[in-house]
Chain A
Amino acid sequence: MPILEKITQSLQARRWTDSIPLEFHYTAGVAGEEFRRVLKDSGRFLLSKCAKCKTTYIPARMFCPSCFVEMKETMTLDEPGYVYSYTTVNRNRTGEESEAVEIALIRFDGVKGGIVHKLDVSDPSKLAFGMKVVPILKDAGERTGALTDIKAFRPQ
């Protein structure tokens, strides 16, 4: 049986407005901390390798999710990445029109994982799957260890 009284005039329907302000200070974790230090100090990517299944992961991780063992071996990446997929975004987070930006999921040969970032391509018609890209880094003094230490990726 439903409730016996309903609101029939819209003015009687009250609402309460408020917000829930939240502030987070995230640290990156044991492996994440190392990854970010290497990015900050040398501008390179740190990878982890599983001794059991030999898979290499980017970014560096503490454990291999398949073998469920700790990964102690790390190495830095020297090769460029390639564009696994890309798209053009012209809306912001609240849905309003914004300046068009090319973003891509960038992967690396022989490595599991990838990095999502902006693409800086002077001629968007040249964008192609598999295109080789390298990061454009901020100056060492400006880097903080965040992925924004890379301004964007550009064709090699």
Chain B
Amino acid sequence: MKRRVAIVGAGITLFRRRMLESPKELSFEASKMALDSAGLTLKDIQSVVSGSAPDAFDGVHMKGEYYLDGMGAIGKPHQRVYVGGGTGVFTPVGGWWNVASGLYDTCLCVAEEKMSPLHPHPQYAFWSIFDQILERPLGTTLLWIFSLEMRRYMHKYGIKEEEIAEVAVKNKGNAIDHPSAQLGARISVDDVMRSEPICEPVKRLDVSPPSDGAAAVILASEKVAKKLTDQPVWLDGVGWTLDSTHWTNRDLAYPEYVEKAAKMAYKMAGIKNPRKEIEVAEPYDPFDYKELHHLEGLQLAGKGEAPKMTVDGVTQRDGDLPVCPSGGLLGVGNPIAAAGMMKICEIFWQLRGEAGKRQVKKDARTGLAQAWGDLMQVGTVTVMRS
């Protein structure tokens, strides 16, 4: 029997290129902050769901079992969910299963990532997700798939690099107001265009950085949530869909799996017209073009139309559909799993009017957070209402 689930607290650490904290300590800091914000202690938590991306980053095999003391999960039912970059939004989905099913009344959902131990560069861990026989021998790097996808997207709809660069300018600017942000800065389209090419058409300022960080939310059943707060944020829709790793056989200009995940979440939340009903959105933006790509997959923009929305200012904080008011991955940082959770925290704070300087102008009551990942194959979506 499905029950209504609410988010009642959130916590987040700083996101930085390298943090002194160990994985357990990072998890503790985010979890403690979330508990304090909800007025709860560890005794009130009945189950824990954690999300973290490849073990290869932290450098501890089976790291779900390693960091769980920092999430208060000793002696508790704990699941680790993992879908690459989609993990951060998939973590509260896992928590939703725990609470909506009636199994538990409270669930602590924590996403942690420590990318700094991997030497010489965290990007190296991604190399092993490619096909070992047909792709790795060519010297693949993660940047290849992004640049190939970006090129195809630009080609199909006639989009210019300058239009895409507007997203980097917006998000890095928004991030200045986020207390955890790693790369908040005022830059211009020109700065982006002149930054060095990494894997054309991707340039340095089009990309989010590797980071260490953790974020957490607390989920509660309707009964418990109403006792804890008069401002619960309801997790009304969840959706997730995967595609295959045969990414070279796919139409790279459109993320169909994101559309399917979004439709699943919209159906559950009773959303018929996403563009009108979603009032604030946090799509996944590891690269600037990805925000546009995902807005279209999420049905928040017509195919090929997201760039115009950005250039016209519709997606600014004072626009009709504010997108990434937090500053996104481009500005706040990209500790893979924690980044998606950062977006969940942001929508939580936005819908309660607690986002401070980042608060969007319109009175937003329905928000969406989305993440994406693996070998360009997963879409995870949540719809939240206050």
Residues of A within 8 A of B (CB): 16, 18, 20, 22-33, 62-63, 65-70
Query: Which chain A residues lie closer than 8 Å to B41 at the CB level?
Result: 68
Contact of A28 among B22, B35, B120, B128 (CB under 8 A): B22
Contacts of B124-163 to chain A: CB distance below 8 A = 124-125, 127-128, 132-133, 136-137
Expressed in whole angstroms, the Cα–Cα distance for A23 and B28 within the complex equals 26
Expressed in whole angstroms, the Cα–Cα distance for A62 and B127 within the complex equals 34
Query: Which chain A residues lie closer than 8 Å to B74 at the CB level?
Result: 65-66
Expressed in whole angstroms, the Cα–Cα distance for A29 and B41 within the complex equals 24
* Contact status A30-B20, CB under 8 Å: yes
Extra pairs beyond A16-B133, A67-B42 (10, CB < 8 Å)? A22-B125, A24-B117, A26-B117, A27-B18, A29-B21, A29-B24, A62-B28, A63-B28, A68-B32, A68-B42
Q: How many A-B residue pairs have CB under 8 A?
A: 65
Expressed in whole angstroms, the Cα–Cα distance for A30 and B120 within the complex equals 23
- Judged by a CB distance under 8 angstroms, whether B59 is at the interface is yes
- Judged by a CB distance under 8 angstroms, whether B72 is at the interface is yes
What are 15 pairs between A and B in contact, CB < 8 Å? A16-B132, A18-B132, A23-B120, A24-B117, A27-B18, A29-B22, A30-B21, A33-B20, A62-B21, A62-B28, A63-B25, A63-B28, A65-B74, A68-B31, A69-B32
Query: Which chain B residues lie closer than 8 Å to A16 at the CB level?
Result: 132-133
Expressed in whole angstroms, the Cα–Cα distance for A20 and B18 within the complex equals 24
Known contacts A24-B119, A65-B72, A68-B35; decide if A31 and B25 are in contact (CB<8 Å): yes
Q: How large is the interface on B (under 10, 10 to 19, 20 to 34, 35 or more residues)?
A: 20 to 34
Task: Select from chain B the residue with minimum beta-carbon distance to A31.
Answer: B25
Closest chain-A Cβ to B110's Cβ sits at a distance in Å of: 12
Expressed in whole angstroms, the Cα–Cα distance for A152 and B182 within the complex equals 43
Task: Select from chain A the residue with minimum beta-carbon distance to B118.
Answer: A24
- Judged by a CB distance under 8 angstroms, whether B255 is at the interface is no
Expressed in whole angstroms, the Cα–Cα distance for A68 and B127 within the complex equals 37
Query: Which chain A residues lie closer than 8 Å to B86 at the CB level?
Result: none
Expressed in whole angstroms, the Cα–Cα distance for A23 and B121 within the complex equals 10
Expressed in whole angstroms, the Cα–Cα distance for A32 and B69 within the complex equals 15
* Contact status A65-B69, CB under 8 Å: yes
